Every structure is written in structure tokens, then in C-alpha cells.
Amino acid sequence: MKYFIKRLIQAVPVLFIISFIIFSLVYMAGDPVLLMLPEDAPQEDKQALREALNLDEPFHVQYMTFVGNLMQGQFGKSFTYGQEALPIVLERLPATIELAFAAIFVATIISIPFGIWSATKKDSLGDVFISGGAVLGKAMPNFWLGIMLILLFSVYLGALPVSGRGTIFHLILPAITLGTGIAAQITRLIRSNMLDILHQEYIRTARSKGLKEFLVIYKHALRNSLIPVVTIMALQTSSLIGGAIITETVFSWPGLGQLLIQAINTRDMAIVQASVFVVALLVIMMNLLADVMYRFLDPRINLK
Amino acid sequence: MNAVDPLLQIEDLKTYFYSGDKVIPSVDGVSFHINKGEIVALVGESGCGKSVTSLSILGLIDSPGKIEGGRILYHDLDLTRLSQKEKLQIRGKEISIIFQEPLAALNPVFTVGYQIQENIMVHERISKKKAKAKAIDLLIKVGIPHPEKVYQNYPHSLSGGMRQRVMIAMALSGNPKLIIADEPTTALDVTIQAQILQLLKEITEQQRTSILFITHDLGVVAEIADRVIVMYAGQVVEQADVYSLFDNPKHPYTKALFNSSPKMDQIDEELTAIEGAVPSPFEKPMGCKFHTRCPYVMGKCKSISPDLEENNGHLVRCWLSTENAKSEVT
């Protein structure tokens, strides 16, 4: 718990740096007033709007105002929605998190058994098939896989909805689309970890106790080979939260990725800033979660 | 040989490894026995087949290795012919093993107590609570202070000596008749080594457990063994009780081993190394396997392999001894 609090405190400077980057990027992106007003608007109107929005202040003053507002959870009003940006972003968050975890779930249930199977039956036909499949899975672009899945399951078979969010059935295709690439990567990781660990002496010790092979592998070997997998899983989850943009677009999934891409297209900077900030916060939290899981899986890591 | 009360009898064991189309005969026709309550030392350089012999007993030879011939009789059971299920009942229950490096041999992600308890619960139908109590008893038995606390420790947080005591507790947990100790003291410093040897000795005395003690350290052999088997390049080259072997080593390889060990009374003398190197496992020499390094080599040694011949319970695989014996007779 002490460790947890310490890590949370450590996250504060990270958030400051992120806020600075977010602000600077938007500052450099150009004068928003030119976008907000028609091109032929009189110079006085432009100046008036700048003053109203505090855009005539120097950089550091603007930044301090930004941070001050940020601490109150305010990113300013969205041009397109005419509301505070943060609630709009937060409203999209559950959809994104739901999809990210569903994708990780798909990846886990595929990769663990396949990874173990191909390691324990190394060089067998099954291993060749799984390893080959993993390369294919990693190589398939999400937009293509998503469209193919829609074509097969929604158009031809009519079994699953084409797009949108609502029931668990809506979740299946996007989760598979996102999960496949991750599953491929983790299958390969588990396979190589397992191959290494199966030659460790403690595996021989486990066998020398008269343990059944099933327990040797699923208890003694798997627990050890999952340690590095947790990192990859956490990193993948973070990147899914921030960047499932393609998949969200293909399936019209009302998540953060979709919102972010729309906001960038319309130069709705309040939304962009709020989204990036929320994503950064979630990534930090995922990393913290990974650290705690590490501790749980590997007692050699001392969290002090 | 005088097998008084044999517990384990290995007959002409052949364990080969395969590398591409090459065959590596790691254990090549090894025979010996272990009596009840006896400590037998298996001595030899790295790669002579000591560990492969011990792993063959437990059926723990990993692919690409395979037991290709011979028998390993435990009571009347041939261990080489057991089904997988039968093997599981032997391992950790009838025969257990202690490995050289306890830090590598204990699983880093489970508490040591759990790892002992697991061994108990595989072979006995008892509650978790009782298994835990038994595991703590075993920790007391192997001389671990604060056993309740150590029970919950992970291997990395214990000292080397403590870890090896945990390994011993684990090996004892099934009340085995035979413990294979594969260089159990090599990774420990000398004072801890002496303590561990003492512990193993006490255990055999109390429980009439037999120990197959694998080592390359002749000092340790003198300390603990009743009988000694010397292996070279996958074969037994000499076998005798510990006193005969130390008083009168007969095989040139055994003699060379003695010459290359430090002695307390000859502290200034330089140690002699055995000339040459262990023959490549791919190309073992014809005839006597030791002839390439033997100072007494004769013509015959290079072409014909000598048999293991007995003389007053002292077995030697050497043409020189065979001929000496013959000349004594005539």
C-alpha cells in the first residue's frame, strides 16, 4: 500500500510533463481564432476573440491558466459539441475500456493454451501450425481483418451485428479484430519463455517429486513464464485505450479513438487535449497495475 | 560382489543422447548396486556420466536422451520398464533427489514451505493443514531455525546452506528408501558443506535410508561414503569400499584423481593435473577409454577394452591390474 501511494505521487511530475506537451502541441498547431471565424472576418473581431479566449497572453501565462483549469478538470468548451470537453471524453471512456479488455481477454484465452501447446510439443506439426499462424496473425492489418470478419460473420452468415455498441454480440468482432494481433505476439512470447523455463532445474525438481506433467507445466512452468507476459499485456492494454482508432472506425465503435480522430479532423482542441490527458492517465494506471501484478507473480521483486 | 541387502541394482545401464545422426553414449554399460542404509559415492570428472546415471534411475532423462539398455532394479521392479504413472509413484516417494544448486532447483515463485508440502500431498492423502505441520516438522528435522517463519519464505531470501536444507527436507518428505544427492555440497562453502554432510549422515543412520552421493570431491567421499564407484567416460572404472579405495587405489585414473586433490600434509607441493582432457563424447577412444591420458598405457590398452575384474571385492577396469592379478596367481 505504501508502495502504491509512493507510485501515485511519482505519477504527478509525469502528468505535468504530459500537460506541457499537450499544451505546447496545441499552441504550435496554429491560431485557433483563424479557424473559428470566417476568413473574411474583420481584424478587430479576431483580436476581440483572441482577448476573450486569453490567446493574446504570452506562452507561460497561457500554460499556467491551462494547468489551473486542468486541476479543476476543465479543458474548455468543445467547438463542435458546445459543452465542456472532459464529460464528453469520459462518456466515451467505458466503450473504449470495454473493448480494450475484451480484446485482451480474447488474446489471453488464445495465447496461453496455444503458447504452451506449441512449446511442449516443439517442432511438431501443431507447433509449426501455431507458430505460422502467429506470424500471420501479427501480419494481418486490423482494418483488413475487421472488414473480413464483418463480411464473413455479418454479411454472409448474418450471425453478428455489423457495427455499433450495445449487446455482447456487438463486442465480439471488434474484440477479435484487436485481440488477434496481440494473441499472436503473446503466443510467441509464451512459447519462447516456456521453452526456456522447461529446461530450468526447478522443473526437473518438480518432476522428481512425482508431480503429474500437467501440474509441472501449468503450475510450475506457466507461473514463471507469465511474468514477462504481464508487461506486454499491460502495455498492449494501454495502447488499446489510446489507439484502437482503426478498429473503432471500422466497427463504428463509439469509443475514445473515434472521438479523438474526429476532434483532430475538426481541430476541436479541447477534446484533443482532454482525450490525450485521460489516455495518459490510464496508461500510467495500467503501468502501475502491471507493477503490482509483477509483485504478485514474482516474489523476487521487492516493492520497496 | 557381496550384495548384502541390495535396494537398487543397476545392470549394464546404457543411456545415450542423440545429436543429429551422432550418438553420445553418456552412460555406457554401468553396473552397480546400493544396499539398504548404505552411502555409495559416485565419483568422476564433469561429463563422465554421473548425473546422467542418477537421472536415469528416476526416469528423468529428457529428450534427446534415452535409456537404450540394461535394467535398474528397485527391489524387484525394473524402473526402466515402468509406465509413466508408475514412475510418478516412485519419484519423490521411494527415491528422491537433491540437486547441486538449490537456488536453481527450487521454484522461485513458490514459498519453500509450499514446495515441501506439495511433495507430501502428491503421495499422501492428507489435509493441507496436516501436510503443513509435517513440512514444518521436516524443517525442524533438517535443523532450520524458526521453521514457521522459513516455511513462508521464498527461496531467494534464504542462504545457500538453508536452501540446501530445504531441498533435503523436501527429499525426505516422502520417507524415501533412496536419496540421490547430486553434488549437494559443491555450491556451498566449506563449513556449511560439513554441516550438510553431517545431516545426511544422521539421516541415513536414523532412517536406514540409502544415499547415492554424486561428487567429484574426494574429501567429501572420505567424509561420507561407505563404498565408492569411480566413473570415467560413461563407464565404471573402479569400485571398492572407501577404505580399500583410499588405501590402495588401483586404476590409473583413480590414482591420478588422488594426485590432483590437495592434501593437508603436502601443502607446499604443486598439484598435478591429469594430462590431456576428457575424450570428446562424440569420439570416445577405442580400447580402454582412459588410454589417451594414462601414464601406464600398453599396446593392448589402445585396441581392447578391459573388463571390470574383481579381486577381494575391489573391482577395477584395467589391463595392468588384470595382468598383475594373473602374475600373482602363477
CB-count burial class (<10 Å; 0-12, 13-18, 19+) for B276:
exposed
Cell of B14: 546404457
Cα torsion angle, B12, B82, B135, B187, sign: positive
On the question of pLDDT at A283 being above 50, the answer is yes
Distance CA B230, CA B240 (A): 9
How much is the pLDDT for B1?
A: 46
Q: Are residues B189 and B122 in the same domain?
A: no
How much is the pLDDT for A243?
A: 64
Q: Which chain B residues have a beta carbon less than 8 Å from that of A210?
A: 87-93, 119, 122-123, 174
DSSP code per residue over B6-74: EEEEEEEEEEEEEETTEEEEEEEEEEEEEETT-EEEEE--TTSSHHHHHHHHHT-PPTTEEEEEEEEEE
Q: Are residues A173 and A120 in the same domain?
A: yes
On the question of pLDDT at A194 being above 50, the answer is yes
Domain final position from A254, A277, A294: A254
Is the residue at B250 inside a domain? yes
B54 residue type, one letter: S
Q: Which chain B residues have a beta carbon less than 8 Å from that of A213?
A: 84
Q: Sheet of B227-232: strands edge to edge?
A: B95-98, B178-182, B210-215, B39-43, B227-232, B235-241, B314-316, B309-311
Mean pLDDT for A109-116 is 93
Least confident of A81-90, A200-209, B120-129: A81-90
Contact B73, A261 (CB under 8 A): no
Q: Are residues B190 and B323 in the same domain?
A: yes
A258 pLDDT tier (thresholds 50, 70, 90)? confident
Q: Are residues B48 and B83 in the same domain?
A: yes
Mean pLDDT for A238-257 is 84
Mean pLDDT for B20-43 is 91
Q: Are residues A126 and A233 in the same domain?
A: yes
CB contact under 8 Å between B99 and A210, yes or no, is no
Selected for mutation to probe chain A from B95, B109, B114, B121 (highest A CB count within 10 Å) is B109
On the question of pLDDT at B330 being above 70, the answer is no
For chain A, the domain total comes to: 2
On the question of pLDDT at A212 being above 90, the answer is yes
Residue A52 CB coordination number (10 Å) = 10
Cα distances (angstroms) measured from residue B216 to each of B50, B183, B309: 9, 8, 23
Distance CA B132, CA B111 (A): 12
Is the residue at A175 inside a domain? yes
Between A291 and A215, the more confident residue is A215
How much is the pLDDT for A291?
A: 82
Cell of A141: 492489418
On the question of pLDDT at A34 being above 80, the answer is no
Mean pLDDT for B47-72 is 90
How much is the pLDDT for A277?
A: 87
For chain B, the domain total comes to: 2
Is the residue at A232 inside a domain? yes
On the question of pLDDT at A28 being above 90, the answer is no
Between A300 and B168, the more confident residue is B168
Q: What is the CATH number for A180?
A: 1.10.3720.10
Is the residue at A48 inside a domain? yes
A5 pLDDT tier (thresholds 50, 70, 90)? confident
The three-point CA angle A43-A47-A48 to 5° equals: 115
**Structural domain boundaries, residue B135:** 102-175
- Average per-residue pLDDT in chain A? 86
Closest CA to A119 of A169, A190, A56, A61: A190
Between A208 and A23, the more confident residue is A208
Closest CA to B33 of B313, B233, B247: B313
Domain final position from B126, B152, B175: B175
Domain final position from A229, A254, A279: A254
Distance of CA A275 to the CA centre of its chain: 13
- Cell numbers 541387502 correspond to what residue? B5
DSSP code per residue over A188-247: HHHHHHHHHHTTSHHHHHHHHTT--HHHIIIIIIHHHHHHHHHHHHHHHHHHHHHH-HHH
On the question of pLDDT at A204 being above 70, the answer is yes
Q: Which chain A residues have a beta carbon less than 8 Å from that of B170?
A: 205, 209
CB contact under 8 Å between A207 and B60, yes or no, is yes
On the question of pLDDT at A205 being above 80, the answer is yes
Q: Are residues B245 and B145 in the same domain?
A: no
Is the residue at A90 inside a domain? no
Q: Are residues A147 and A34 in the same domain?
A: no
CA distance B97 to chain A (A): 7
CB contact under 8 Å between B88 and A210, yes or no, is yes
B4 pLDDT tier (thresholds 50, 70, 90)? low
Is the residue at A83 inside a domain? no
Mean pLDDT for B26-47 is 91
Percent share of chain B, pLDDT over 70: 96
On the question of pLDDT at B151 being above 90, the answer is yes
Least confident of A46-60, A145-159, B87-101: A46-60
Is the residue at B1 inside a domain? no
ipTM score assigned to the predicted complex: 0.87
On the question of pLDDT at A116 being above 80, the answer is yes
Is the residue at B214 inside a domain? yes
How much is the pLDDT for B267?
A: 63
How much is the pLDDT for A43?
A: 82
CB contact under 8 Å between B109 and A224, yes or no, is yes
Q: Are residues A17 and A137 in the same domain?
A: no
How much is the pLDDT for A128?
A: 92
Contact B113, B135 (CB under 8 A): yes
Q: What is the CATH number for B277?
A: 3.40.50.300
Of A207, A220, A223, nearest to B91 by CB-CB distance is A207
Q: Which chain B residues have a beta carbon less than 8 Å from that of A296?
A: none
The three-point CA angle A32-A34-A36 to 5° equals: 70
Mean pLDDT for A52-63 is 80
**Structural domain boundaries, residue A110:** 100-254
Q: Are residues B71 and B118 in the same domain?
A: no
Closest CA to B41 of B210, B226, B279, B196: B226
Domain final position from B175, B204, B229: B175
Cell of B145: 531455525
Q: Are residues B19 and B151 in the same domain?
A: no
Domain final position from B175, B204, B219: B175
Element (DSSP H or E) covering residue B239: strand B235-241
Is the residue at A47 inside a domain? yes
Q: Are residues B187 and B107 in the same domain?
A: no
CA distance B107 to chain A (A): 5
Closest CA to B61 of B80, B41, B86, B42: B80
CB contact under 8 Å between A201 and B99, yes or no, is yes
Is the residue at B87 inside a domain? yes
Q: Are residues A107 and A52 in the same domain?
A: no
Q: Are residues B113 and B156 in the same domain?
A: yes
Q: Are residues B162 and B231 in the same domain?
A: no
Q: Are residues B170 and B204 in the same domain?
A: no
- Average per-residue pLDDT in chain B? 88
On the question of pLDDT at B133 being above 50, the answer is yes
